[in-house]
């Protein structure tokens, strides 16, 4: 269900947070779907339950999930909101990188090619 890369420099709990966030954004996990329990996922991934707990706490604080003591953790309802949030982040990043690239001599044509934009005249998306 989740892929953890131990060689990745990013902390494990962050990879778990990202993983579930992606699953929620892409609607693979629909609202009110129950996540695996802290202990179960810990065993499954051979990771300390504390680390899983930290990831779940973070997910709840970000509004991706909600949890009920004694019952479990569940995907939150606002899936589309997450999409918008992520898109806003992407916009900020892309704008910044494009600005730097342009300062280094990149042309519009290069940028369009990098982003694989269909630049036919009245072109839509096939």
Residues that bind its own copies (CB under 8 A): 6-7, 9, 11, 25-26, 66, 68-71, 74, 83, 86-87, 90-91, 93-95, 97-101, 103-108, 110-112, 114-126
- The residue written with tokens 């309802």 in the block is 77
Question: Under the criterion CB under 7 A, does residue 73 sit at the interface with DNA?
Answer: yes
The DSSP-derived string for 16-39 is: HHHHHHHHHHTTSS-TTPBPPPHH
CB 69 within 8 A of CB 21: no
Residue 42: CB minimum distance to DNA, A: 8
36 or 98: whose CB is closer to DNA? 36
Binding DNA (rule: CB under 7 A), the pick from 24, 29, 35, 82 is 35
**Token pair in block for residue 99:** 């600005």
71 or 121: whose CB is closer to DNA? 71
What is the number of alpha carbons within 13 Å of residue 109 lying toward its C-beta? Answer: 0
Question: Under the criterion CB under 7 A, does residue 39 sit at the interface with DNA?
Answer: yes
Instruction: Check residue 72 and report its DSSP letter.
Output: E
What is the number of alpha carbons within 13 Å of residue 37 lying toward its C-beta? Answer: 7
Binding DNA (rule: CB under 7 A), the pick from 31, 60, 78, 79 is 60
Binding site for DNA (CB under 7 A): 11-14, 35, 37-40, 47-51, 53-54, 56-57, 60, 67-73
């Amino acid at each position: 269900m989740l892929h953890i890369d131990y060689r990745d420099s990013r902390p494990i709990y962050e990879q778990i947070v990202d993983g579930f966030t992606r699953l929620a954004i892409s609607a693979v996990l629909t609202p009110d779907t129950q996540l695996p329990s802290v202990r179960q996922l810990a065993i499954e991934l051979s990771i300390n339950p504390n680390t899983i707990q930290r990831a779940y706490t973070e997910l709840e604080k970000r509004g991706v999930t909600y949890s009920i003591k004694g019952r479990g953790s569940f995907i939150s309802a606002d899936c589309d909101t997450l999409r918008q949030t992520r898109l806003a982040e992407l916009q900020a990043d892309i704008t910044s990188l494009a600005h730097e690239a342009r300062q280094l001599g990149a042309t519009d044509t290069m940028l369009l090619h990098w982003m694989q934009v269909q630049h036919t005249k009245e072109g839509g998306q096939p």
